[in-house]
Each structure stands twice: as C-alpha cells, then as structure tokens.
Structure 1
Amino acid sequence: MLSGMALPVSAARYAGARVPRVEDLRLLTGRGTFVDDVVRPGMLHVHFVRSPMARARILSIDASEALALDGVHAVFTAEDLNPGVHEHWYSLIGQDVPDTPRPPLAQDEVRFVGDPVALVVAEDRYVAEDAAELVVVDLEPLAPVVDYATATATDERVHEAYPDNVVGELGGRPVEQIDEIFAAAPHVVRETIYQQAYSAVPLETRGLVAEYSGPTREMTIWASTQVPHEMRLFTSRLLGLPEHHVRVVMKDTGGGFGQKAMPQREDMCVMLAATKVPAALKWIEDRQENLMSAGQGRHEHGTARLAFDDDGRILAAAIDHVQDAGAYPVPWPVQTAMVVGLLFPGPYRVPDATFSCRSVFSNTTARTAYRGPWQFESLAREVLLDIAARQLDVDPIELRRKNLLRADEMPVANPCGMPYSDVTPLETFEHAIALLDYEAFRTEQEQARKSGRYLGVGTSSYIEPTTSGMGFLGTEGATIRVEPTGKVNVYVAGGSTGNSLETTVVQLTADALGVDIRDVGTIQGDTAVTPFGGGTGGSRSGSMIAGAVARTAEGLRERIATIAAHQLEANVDDIELAGGRAGVRGAPDTAVTLAEIATIAYFDTNKLPPGVPPGLEASGRYRGQAPMIWANATHVCTCEVDVVTGAVTLLRYIVSEDCGPMINPNVVEGQIAGGTVQGIGGALYEHSAYDDAGNPIATTFLDYLLPTSTEVPTIEYGHVETPGPGEGGYKGVGEGGAIGAPPAVVNAVADALAPLGVRIARTPLSPASIVALIEEAGT
C-alpha cells in the first residue's frame, strides 16, 4: 500500500520565472482554433431577427417571404423555441435565487433594441442575413423605460411582474444607526457619482456551433465561452438531457471579460433550434450585434459619504447605490450590487459603515458580468477621498496614509463583515508612490502650472476578493497522466481565454514532477475528458489550478518514487525527482528516467512493487480557502489636460500589486495591463450610449471609442509579494486592473483641473465633458 508521505522534488525551476507563453506560437501564427474555424458536415448557419424598438408589443411575425428564399431551412419564433425550455438557472447563483425573466426569444413584447425576435436557419450566413430582412415583425410601440435612474418613478413597466421596475434591493445595517456619527463628525464629505455603461468588447464576439443527434439524444457544442463545464450543465438543464449526453468543446476564445461567463439568450436559442434541424448550427455574432445586445457593464450611480475627525481619520462610510440591470440581466444582478456595498470601506481603517444597493430594470441591453463587476465601490470611494482631501485642505496621499490598513493589522474584518487577511494596502501604496517619486512630480506640476500647463496625479487603492472557497467556484480538479513515453499530459477544465492557463499549468506540473517544461502538455476546455471546473472568472483560475495540480501531483509523485525505489533497491524516502529522473539523494548516478518508470508501469507491470497499480495517472480535486483569498493594489496615474480642447494625455501609469508569489510575472503583468487598459477606456472613451427613445447610438467602432496603443502610456509595474492562505500562496490578479484604473484616471484629471475649481463626479471624461466642466466652474 502507498503510504501518503511527502516526497521531495527539485526546487521550483519554472514557477516564478518569466516563461514564454506556450500558446503564443499557435496564436501568433494564426493557427488557433476559434468557433468560426469549426466546420461540421452539412452545417447550417443562424442569424437573428432583432427588434428595432426599445419597447413594443409583438402583434404578428410573418416569415413566409423569408422561407421562400432559396437556401433558407427554417425560421423559428418564440412559439417554436420557448416551450422547449426545461430549466435555465446558473450554477453560480443557484436555482433558489429569485432570478429574472430570461425567455430565449422575445414573446408578446420586445424590451430593448436588439431583442431577438426570430431565428433564421439557412445554408450560409449571407442567405440567413438576407432572409432576416424579409421577416416582417408587426410591432405596436410602447413607451420605453430608458433611464434606470428614474425607472422607479414611472408608470411604465419593463416587466409586468415588477411593478416598480426594481429587480431587488439589499442593504447593511439601518442607516439611522450611523447617522449619529455623521451628524457629530467635524467633517463630512458627500457626492453622488455616476458611471456610464460600457462593454467588454472581446476581440472574438460570441458564438457557438451546436450539433444534436436525435437517435442518441446527444448534443455537442463548440463554444466561445469562459465556462465549458457550466455550459454543459446549463445545456443539460435547458434541454432536459442527461448531463453525460452533452459535450462542450472550448478551443481558443478571443477574450471574455465576464461577457462569456454564462450562456445568454442567443446561446439558448441555438441550443433549442439545433434539436429541430438535421445538421449542426453555427452562430457567430457580428460586432454590431455584440455592441447592441451582448450586454453592458458598469452603468450605475451612488451617493457616497465619508465622515472624518479633525485629524483626517475616517469615522464612518456609507453608500446608497443604484445600478442599471437592463432588460434581461445575466446573472441575477442583486448579488454583485451587494458586493459594492460590502467592499465600499475598501482597504481603509473604517470603524463603521453601512450601505443600500438597488438593481433596476430598463429597456436597454442586459447587465452582464464585466471584469470586477463590483468595481463601482472603488470608483466612488477613491474619487470621494480626493474630493475630501481638497475639502479638508490636505494632501490626498497623506489622507490615505493616515487611513490605509497595514499588513501587521491582518486579519481584520471591515465594518460590513468582510474578513480581510494576507494583504498589504499601506505597503503596496507606499511602493507605488515611491515608484512615481511623488515629491518630484509635485514640483514638476507646480512649474508646469506657471507656464499654463495643467498636470495632475491620481491614485486608487483597492482590495479585491479572489478565489472563493465556497459553492460552484470553490473546487477545481486536475488529471495528470505520464504517458508510456514519459511525456506528461495535464487535463484541467481551464480554457484559453487570454489568461495563459496553458502556460500556468505546464509550469506548475513541470515543477511538481521535476520534469522539463517541454515534456509537459495540457488538454483543456473539453468536458468529455477534463475534470469538472468552475472556469475563468472571479480572479480564481491561477490559484485554483495551482491547488488542483498540487493535490493531483502528490499521489503521482509517490507512485513514481515507489517504483523507482523498488528498481534502485533504495528507501523511498531517499528518492527525489529532478531533471525527468527519479534518483537517490546524494548518489547522482543512481537514477531511473521517467520514461523507464513509465515503461514498467505500462508494459513491464510484473516489475511493479507490491501494491502499486499499473499505469501512471492520477486525478485530484482542490478545495479553495473559504471564504476568500484577498489581493490588493494601488494604481497611480499622471496626466496633462488641455484646458482648451479638453483632451487628456496620460503621462505615466504605475501599478503596484500584491497578488502573492507570481507563477509567471509575464502573465501577471499581462493581466494587469489588459485590465488597466479597459479601465482607462472606461474612464475616458467608452460609452454604450442610448438616445431618449432607447436607440443605441454606439454600435460600431466609429461611435464606440476604444483606447489604442497611442493613447495608453507604458505601464510600470511594482510587485509586493505577500503569500495568501492558498496553495503556493498564490492570489488572483485577473480583474484588478479594470477595478483600479478608472478612479486613478478620474483623480488625475480632477487634480490637474483643481486650480480651476472643477469637481468631477461623472464619467466618461470626454473632451466635450471636460470643456463643459471647465466652463461651468468658471461661471
């Protein structure tokens, strides 16, 4: 029998190193496999007929002319598809949550411009698009609810079952219990801060291929998704199929950022329609559809308050937060709204706090998960802190220094009950400020103002929940197989969505087994062969997969060492694994290669020691640290504002991050950079805007502006490595950049314009809005 002892391997050679990404050769040479690269025999193509109105009653749908077009196979409406739904809840939320309506196709009423009304199936995409133009949808216009901020004050209803247009509300302790603190405080700072809607805009839009076999009742789906196993579960529930009759294959995915974290209504339609046609169905969303109907994030506002004593120390914090849920939010938005309130105290020493959070329907596209969906807590708090510094006439850096939590105070619970641990808010902040050389910048700023130039600096500090140890996302599995040749394959749920899980897995496995990284491969994203996993989201993947690999490798190392000890006539405790060999410690010439051990395990099984089974394969499962692993960071931005044109030029951008020991600094910095650029876009450029009639007015890249390499400065990185409580001390890093960037940029612009009396409380900071603020301050 195997004893379960810990066996030594060589010191880590790959974890912590800047190992080149193993997937880059494939992706950079155009050899990746995305959903649109998948071709099936006789495959048919899907295009949606979408509503041109924000809200209207569906009187009739006439598809006769479309069906008469050569190459059209079918046109499905709600009457055809919606009755096929068995269940459609998400594992992340659970079936007992009071979820919102989510019909596959619009039925009786359309609720936003882009709402899918019918699905056309044709021999190719071009015919399907032409046929969609021939479908006649008779609509009776209804007054839309466009502005979520006034949605509770109108008699119009997005959904009849919600008479006040409120999805749900949650809150902390009664606000009256801390109002006394605000009433008695020497200083109270208050502001209502608004953030616009903007979108994930993945490089690859949404898409899937669904192939159904009627005789066997089996469904195979190739999907652009962050969650192959959740898509499998969702498909099983939706269609009433046994889970083992559903296979989801996720190859390369060109970005997700939360938009692909859960199947949406179009995915449901394609799954349902696939059961009604004789061949596979492919749907690939175009860019206009993506910007119009794939979902939005961020759209929200909050009235935030901070109370201070005469020394500038925070006495209490409160936020009254309202978010736009759109017409069909994915998933239930109230839960993430609550996180805004729970995290509003942030990484600061706040004695008392409370919050209220409300999610409101509107006749606009759905609210979907978007990189750090609770990010508004940081925007509201950090912008308010800079406003407070100017109001109290203190330096914003000194104000933060007085209030930031220190590493030696951990663990500590914030006043809303969040149990922080293993974080370094003040230390990371000081590191970022030192990288800037803050005093030198203030000197430069003063000199620039004398010559009529307006420079500014802004900071943003946050604490981020990562790697939950609870519920659907609380475990992750792995299978490691040493093949008969001695090469290694690692199977994880994973998925290549730009977060380099392929590289992460081979690095960790090579270290765990003491083999060359070139001898390790990984298979990910295929539910037929990979163990169940929660997918990418919540900054969980790196640390959870590290745990899964570690748990799985333990048993496999022991088996390898036991076989080697038997062959070498040595004590198993003296065996160490290094360089693809199992050798006796202190006797470097006494060793067997992993290939030789594999030959015994698979072919010469009579040479195996007693109690050791044939083969070299192990599966394991890791349970994350409950309830949460925390990361933290500080962003520092400097900029120059042209007060005539309103143009903002970013000068320097610094991120000091504590995500624990880094598995691969290249990957960590890539994740920080990607999120930071998205946050810069949200602060300055991106806006999913609607007119008063509910028409989206930014559905192409002519109108929806994205930052490019010419607008984004070189990002400078600082790392504070404090181990977390999980495997290897690793923490999450995927969402942080998008959380920290918007308030840092806003604060930098506000600091630049402070001499003009400008007070910023609304994004995006377009040139026109900046000019308007300057003019308003001057009147």
Structure 2
Amino acid sequence: MSPLAQPNGTATGAAAARYSGARVSRVEDARLLTGRGTFVDDVVRPGMLHACFVRSPLARARILGIDASEALALDGVHAVFTAEDLNPDVREQWYTLTGKDVPDTPRPPLAEDEVRFVGDPVALVVAEDRYIAEDAVELVSVDYDPLPPVVDYVTARDAEALVHAGYPRNVAGETAGRPAAELDPIFDGAPVVVRETIYQQAYAPVPMETRGMVAEWSAPDGELTIWAATQSPHEVRLFCSRLLGLPEHRVRVVMRDTGGGFGQKVMPLREDMCVMLAARKLPAAVKWIEDRRENLMSAGKSRHEHGDARMAFDADGTILAAAMDFVQDVGAYPTPWPVGTAGVIGMLFPGPYRIADATFSSTCVFSNTTGRAAYRGPWQFESVAREVLLDIAARRMGMDPADLRRKNLLKFDDLPFSNPNGMGVYTDVTPLETFEHGLTMLDYDAFRREQKRAREQGRFLGVGTCSYVEPTTAGMNLLSTEGATIRIEPSGKVNVYVSGGSSGNSIETTVVQLTADALGVDIADVNTVQGDTAVTPFGGGTSGSRSGSMTAGAVAETASVLRERMTAIAAHCLEAAVGDIDLIGGRAAVRGVPSAGMSVAEIAQIAYFQPDALPPGTPPGLEASGRYRAREPMIWTNATHVCTCEVDPVTGAVTILRYIVSEDCGPMINPNVVEGQIAGGTVQGIGGALYEHLAYDEDGNPVTTTFMDYLLPTAVEVPAIEYGHLETPGPGEGGYKGVGEGGAIGAPPAVVNAVADALAPFGVEITRLPITPESIVALVRGAQRTVTG
C-alpha cells in the first residue's frame, strides 16, 4: 500500500481542510429538487420560433429532389432550409478539443446529395410553434433513390458499397503499435496462450435531458447569443465563431442547467450547426429541442466494437505478452474524430497489469448507421476485452480468477511503470491494493463457500471483477489549462467565476468548497457563476474526468493572489507581520492573539473604499484572475469493481446480489459527489452489460428508438452500491484525480464475469454482449448439447 493511501479515509500527512474532504450538501440541489432549474427548454425569447428536422427514412439513398412548397404554404411556417441554404455558409468546422490539424471525417450540417443513415437530417423546418413545425415536416416531400446500405461494420471492409466515396474499404482510419511479428516468438513459445474475439453491442448515453439549443441573432450589433444544453460552453462559442466566421466576442453562449451529458454534449453536433447557421437568417430567436426518438436515432451511438484479444502466459499464470486487434463501428458521421480514441483503446489494453510486451492494431469502420459519439469512458472496451479474457484464461488454466490477477496486478511499489503500448507511465495508482480491498469488503473466500453450497442446492451464484487504470486530466492536449476569476465583494461575500459545464457532476459544489478553503471563508459566503461565456474565463468544460482537478488548480492559483493581498492589508492594519496572519472562519487573525483580528468584510471595505489606508504597493479592490496549467502528461486513477449475482439457467434471469467499488481517485473533495459519480457510471455500465442495445435490422432501420424497445436499468434492477476508498494523492493540485468515467468502465466486465462465473458449471463462456435472458438460455442449452453430444 502506498504510504499515503488509507482505506475509507483521507490522505495522511495533508493539512486538514475545513470543507474539502467533507460531505457537504450540494449547493445546486435546492433549485433542482424543487423544480426551479433552468434548462434549455425553459428559455423563452420574444417572438421565438421553433425548429424541427426532416430526417431520412432510409439508411442510404440519393437525394433527387426536395419539395417544400406544401410545408411553406402551411400557416405559421417561416422557413424550410435545405443543404443548399445552410451548408455553403460553413467557414471552418473543427473542435478545440481535437485541434485544427486532425484529419477529421466528413460532417455536413444537412445531408448533401446522399443520406447515410436513418435519421440523417435532410431539411430544417422553422415555424411559430413546435406543433406546426412537426406538421410541416410531414409535408416536405423528398425524392429518394434507394441505395444498398452498409449496415454490418464487421463485413463493411469487404462491401462493394462505400459510405463515403473518399474512404476505400469504408475505413475511416487506422493506428497500430509495434509490429505483431515482434511478439510471435513469445506467443509461439508460451506454455499457455488464450485468444478470444469479444464483441460489444452499440448503446448510447441517453441523458435525461435530450439535446437542445436556442439561438438568437441580433443584426444591429452582429451578435449571436446561444442557450445550449452542453458540457462545454466555451467549446460551443469557439466552434460557432469558426463555423459562422464571426469574431469570438460576437458570440455569447449561456449554459444554465444541463440534465446529463455523458460525452454526448461535449461538442456541437450536426443539428446544433444547423441551428447556428439558420439563426442569422431568421427574424427572431429559434429553439430546437430533440425528442427522445430523435435522440436514440440520431444523437450518436457508442461501444459498437470487437477485439481479437490474446494473452500469453507462463506455466504459473504470469502474463508474458498481450495483443489485441480492435475494430470499431463509427457509423456515418462520427464526432469527434474517432481514430485517436480507437488508438487509446489499443494502447490501454494491458491495463494495470505487469506486462512487459504488448502491441495492438485499431481500425475505425464506417457504416450506414448513426455516428459514433463520445460516451463516458470512450476507451472502455479495453477493460471489457482484457478482463473477460483474463477470467476465461483462469478457468482454462484451472485457477481462481482472483489468484491470476493477484499474480499479475501492479502494486504501488512497482511504480513508476511504463505502459508497454506507449500510453505513458503509470504513477500514483494502487491496482493490487484496491483489488484486495474490494475482495476484503466482499469476503471473497466466504462467498466462494456460499457459492459451493448454493450449487449443491441447484442455485448458480457468481462473482466477477474488473480492475482498470484510467487516464484523467490530460496535460498534453489543447485543454490543459483552466481559468478562474474570484471577486470578494465590498460586503465580504465571494463570487467565483469558472467556465462550468456541470451536467450532474456537481462542479458548483466543488468550486464553492475549494474556494471557501482557499480563502478561509465560510462556505455560505461563497457563490459561483458558471456557464456564461460573457463573464467566465475560458475553460475546457466537463470531459475526460478533468473538472475537479483542473478547477481545483484554477481556484488555488487565483485565490493565492487574494490571500496575499488580504493578509498584507490585515497585517498593515493590525501592525503584525504578514507571516503571523491566519485566514480562517472569515477572519484574518494574528496567530497566538485570538482577539487581534478583522473580518473579510472589513478588509474588503478598506480594499475598495479606503485606498489611502492600504499598505504600499497593494492595489485597491479584491478581484483576481488566474490560470492553471496541468503540468503532468496524465493523472492516473484506478479502481476495482466486484459484482456478485445469481443466474437462473432456465429463464436466463440475472439478479445482482452485491456490487462493490474500491476506488483510488486521490483525496476526495466531496465524498458524496465522488460516490454519486461512481454510482451513475456503474448503473450505465450495468445497463450496457445486461439491458441496453441500440439495434438495427439488416436494412439499416433502427429498431430501438423508444423506451419500449431500448431497455434501461431501473431502481428495481440496480443494487445498492458499496464504496471503498483508498486515497493516493496524484501529482496535480491537492492530489486530486478524476473520477467521473470509472463506473462506466468497470461495470460491464465485472457483470459479465460474474454471470460467466455463475454459469461455469455448464462450461459457458461469454464473449458477446449484451447478456440478455435469451442469450443466457441459448448458451446454456448449447453447452448442454455439446456435453450430451
């Protein structure tokens, strides 16, 4: 165990903070739980118009013509825009997160010449209200010439048809590690080699609030104001300014409350582009709110992929080498550029294990389905493939899967350790320690005894684990800085301005806690302003598990300036040395003399209204801006998920019995928030393992576009999640690490392995998700037929 890692506690050796580390109630809950939040659909502007999209009913077809005359004749319809109206207005189209020079894939606002998936936006109808717009959509006549679609990404590279003419064999891009032949001697000479192709189905983020935007063009001053459901208001602003060719200061983006994002709302998608482009052609603000069917049909999918994974083992179970050939479905219009993330999946495949030799290849393949979009832990498949393969390997070698992992997991004393596929150097993680902690919480040996008794009674229990390392807070991309502005008002109250992007991750509460501690003031005296690009400093928003650690750095950087100024004023007024002044509880006091002090409000009065009373060289006012730069290439976090379940082999029903997460995300700013993030991601991962499937038929028609067809886990199916915390400080500000994506990474393989363990007596191996009751029954029957045959 690392010297500073303590189970269920806080890091030793760190100065006690008054609020950071405490279970402070979320400051946003009062408005959200009482229905006083402001979401995009709550925004109303004078004379506001409403937009609705005409979408393709075919997976692939040429557009021969569009007749909007009947729609335009409908009373209340203002405009019908097609590709020829909007697409030529595009100036630049690239994302700050990925950069201008990335060889991005095509992404027209509206379909040009050809539609490429069911739901492809073909035209934009604008009317006085949503009902008229919906009716008008039905009146737009589009003449389609059907073409054979490319639906199955697995065979797409051999298909005659091309999703995009400029991409031979439907390949969007490829990456690879070292030549696979270099590892052939290891695999050829290994006592044990285990190889499986593991498939994961397509599923989606499904936020509670669908996508939405209000855009209002002010012609007199040439300014565009956007209210957006987004995780990154400054990304929307930059993207829009480039898209329209507007100066950045002529675009204002306002983000209030966002009901979930999970990656889907990090970047503007094609429909957002259409609303931005159309706004300048309309006499009033225009609102677009996506309905649930549109969200499931067109907002993007994730996870649809497979990997040919293999590992070589010594006779005692030591991993000698690992390799994976990975292929992912990127749909017709992926956002963002998918090739980089696909490469990360291959690079991370060795995971938290002591593996010296590894390689990978990754291939992104187009299909005539909705485009691949970012989703919580977009590299998650590396853990699915690795952890499922390890359980299969353990059973084939006659080992307990826990013992195989114990033999190979990295421990703190092994660090630093270089990822063999070039993903960087692991530091400040505790893979073996969190693994043992999770198994102790379960009492693994006791469960194995219970499992044995249950099998004698005809009941089938199983346990599965997943251990992973997660890259967070990347310091090597275009979003490696974060800003904050803090203003102590004349009353002594504090406003802290950060970019925001909170979509359920409680960044409001986090900022208030951090600022109260940094300034030594009462948390009730701190307010945060977020999500308005007109007043907040540039920031990268919520993505990549970066918000907590980056915001902590920005607040600390900025608050240090104000602390220095306040202590200088207090020392001058109290006739004390600056080094003897303590800021705590909203007061500046002389150390050792409790009666000698002054409140922050008194200091503010002097700073603003008595400049002659300030010490020499101290500027008036109490306002400062700062910018934090992440100095490490990556901050690593890690966890182990442990799942137990019972499986009925006759009906295929899976009942999760216990679910444990042992996490090391460094010191926790707010354990309530950390556990909430773990829970949310874990539930999404359980859904991906057992329920969710964004399915298409052989003609490319989506068949799960309502909640009658697309199954989500509910409170009935989700177990109470048990949390265990180890806290190893990372290299960034406060030692904080990211935690937002881990639950979604660890849950699917843990659940798969638990189900497979329960069905081990039948000789069942699970290599294809989701694990539906139908698939379980088929696997058991197939295994029984094999035995009897």
What TM-score range do you get, normalising by the shorter chain?
over 0.9
Q: Deviations over 1:484-534 (max 9, x none)?
A: 100001000123210000000000000011111000000001100000000
Asked if 1:444 corresponds to 2:433, the answer is no
Q: Structure 1 residue 92: deviation in Å?
A: 1.2
Counterparts of 1:195-594 in structure 2 under 5 Å?
195-417=200-422, 418-594=424-600
Report the residue type matching 2:153 in the other structure: Y
Contact 1:10 1:514 in 2 (8 A): no
**Structure 1 partner of 2:132:** 127
In the aligned structure 1, how far is the partner of 2:479 from the partner of 2:379?
Answer: 17
**Structure 1 partner of 2:150:** 145
2:709 pairs with one of 703, 707, 713: 703
Asked if 1:65 corresponds to 2:70, the answer is yes
Contact 1:318 1:353 in 2 (8 A): yes
In the aligned structure 1, how far is the partner of 2:52 from the partner of 2:615?
Answer: 61
Q: Deviations over 1:693-745 (max 9, x none)?
A: 00000000000000001001100000010000000000000000000000000
Counterparts of 1:7-22 in structure 2 under 5 Å?
11-22=16-27
**Structure 1 partner of 2:89:** 84
In the aligned structure 2, how far is the partner of 1:226 from the partner of 1:312?
Answer: 44
Q: 1:320 to 1:10 in 2, by over 3 A?
A: closer
In the aligned structure 1, how far is the partner of 2:353 from the partner of 2:417?
Answer: 11
Please, which runs of 5 or more residues in structure 2 have no aligned partner? Answer: 1-13
Q: Deviations over 1:18-59 (max 9, x none)?
A: 000000001000000000000011110000000000000000
In the aligned structure 2, how far is the partner of 1:11 from the partner of 1:724?
Answer: 17
Q: Deviations over 1:354-399 (max 9, x none)?
A: 0000000000001000000000000000000000000100010000
In the aligned structure 2, how far is the partner of 1:649 from the partner of 1:181?
Answer: 41
Q: Structure 1 residue 214: deviation in Å?
A: 1.8
Report the residue type matching 1:489 in the other structure: N
Q: Structure 1 residue 425: deviation in Å?
A: 0.3
Q: Deviations over 1:257-304 (max 9, x none)?
A: 000010000000000000100100100000000000000010000000
In the aligned structure 1, how far is the partner of 2:296 from the partner of 2:45?
Answer: 28
Q: Structure 1 residue 104: deviation in Å?
A: 0.2
In the aligned structure 2, how far is the partner of 1:482 from the partner of 1:351?
Answer: 53
Contact 1:637 1:744 in 2 (8 A): yes
In the aligned structure 2, how far is the partner of 1:320 from the partner of 1:777?
Answer: 27
The number of aligned residues is 771
**Structure 2 partner of 1:164:** 169
Q: Structure 1 residue 11: deviation in Å?
A: 4.5
In the aligned structure 1, how far is the partner of 2:698 from the partner of 2:431?
Answer: 43
1:682 pairs with one of 663, 683, 688: 688
Contact 2:632 2:731 in 1 (8 A): no
**Structure 1 partner of 2:670:** 664
In the aligned structure 1, how far is the partner of 2:500 from the partner of 2:99?
Answer: 22
Contact 1:340 1:375 in 2 (8 A): yes
Contact 1:318 1:354 in 2 (8 A): yes
In the aligned structure 1, how far is the partner of 2:604 from the partner of 2:704?
Answer: 58
**Structure 2 partner of 1:719:** 725
In the aligned structure 1, how far is the partner of 2:514 from the partner of 2:662?
Answer: 25
In the aligned structure 1, how far is the partner of 2:407 from the partner of 2:140?
Answer: 64
Q: Secondary structure at the match of 1:33?
A: coil
**Structure 2 partner of 1:105:** 110
Report the residue type matching 1:686 in the other structure: E
Report the residue type matching 1:493 in the other structure: S
Q: Secondary structure at the match of 2:435?
A: helix
- Give the ranges of 4+ consecutive aligned residues of structure 1 lying more than 3 Å apart after TM superposition: none
Report the residue type matching 2:571 in the other structure: A
In the aligned structure 2, how far is the partner of 1:10 from the partner of 1:98?
Answer: 47
Report the residue type matching 2:492 in the other structure: G
Report the residue type matching 2:275 in the other structure: V
Contact 2:173 2:364 in 1 (8 A): yes
Q: Deviations over 1:167-211 (max 9, x none)?
A: 000000000000110000000000000000000000000000001
In the aligned structure 2, how far is the partner of 1:47 from the partner of 1:626?
Answer: 45
In the aligned structure 1, how far is the partner of 2:471 from the partner of 2:578?
Answer: 41
Q: Aligned-pair RMSD on alpha carbons?
A: 0.8
In the aligned structure 2, how far is the partner of 1:95 from the partner of 1:521?
Answer: 36
Contact 1:467 1:625 in 2 (8 A): no
In the aligned structure 1, how far is the partner of 2:379 from the partner of 2:224?
Answer: 35
Asked if 1:764 corresponds to 2:774, the answer is no
Q: Structure 1 residue 625: deviation in Å?
A: 3.0
Q: Structure 1 residue 10: deviation in Å?
A: 9.1
**Structure 2 partner of 1:6:** none
In the aligned structure 1, how far is the partner of 2:105 from the partner of 2:219?
Answer: 31
Report the residue type matching 1:374 in the other structure: W
Q: Structure 1 residue 215: deviation in Å?
A: 2.4
Contact 1:10 1:511 in 2 (8 A): no
In the aligned structure 1, how far is the partner of 2:145 from the partner of 2:621?
Answer: 67
Contact 2:441 2:660 in 1 (8 A): yes
In the aligned structure 2, how far is the partner of 1:683 from the partner of 1:628?
Answer: 29
Q: Structure 1 residue 626: deviation in Å?
A: 2.3
Q: Deviations over 1:641-663 (max 9, x none)?
A: 01111010000000000000000
In the aligned structure 1, how far is the partner of 2:533 from the partner of 2:632?
Answer: 26
Contact 2:304 2:328 in 1 (8 A): yes
TM-score using structure 2 length: 0.97
In the aligned structure 2, how far is the partner of 1:123 from the partner of 1:347?
Answer: 56
**Structure 1 partner of 2:634:** 628
Q: Structure 1 residue 409: deviation in Å?
A: 1.1
Q: Deviations over 1:398-453 (max 9, x none)?
A: 00000000101111102112211000000000000000000110011011111111
Report the residue type matching 1:179 in the other structure: D
Report the residue type matching 1:404 in the other structure: L
Contact 2:40 2:213 in 1 (8 A): yes
Contact 2:632 2:732 in 1 (8 A): no
In the aligned structure 2, how far is the partner of 1:571 from the partner of 1:626?
Answer: 36
**Structure 2 partner of 1:5:** none
In the aligned structure 1, how far is the partner of 2:521 from the partner of 2:544?
Answer: 31
Report the residue type matching 2:240 in the other structure: T
**Structure 2 partner of 1:184:** 189
Asked if 1:55 corresponds to 2:63, the answer is no
In the aligned structure 2, how far is the partner of 1:495 from the partner of 1:567?
Answer: 41
Report the residue type matching 2:90 in the other structure: V
**Structure 2 partner of 1:3:** none
Contact 1:10 1:578 in 2 (8 A): no
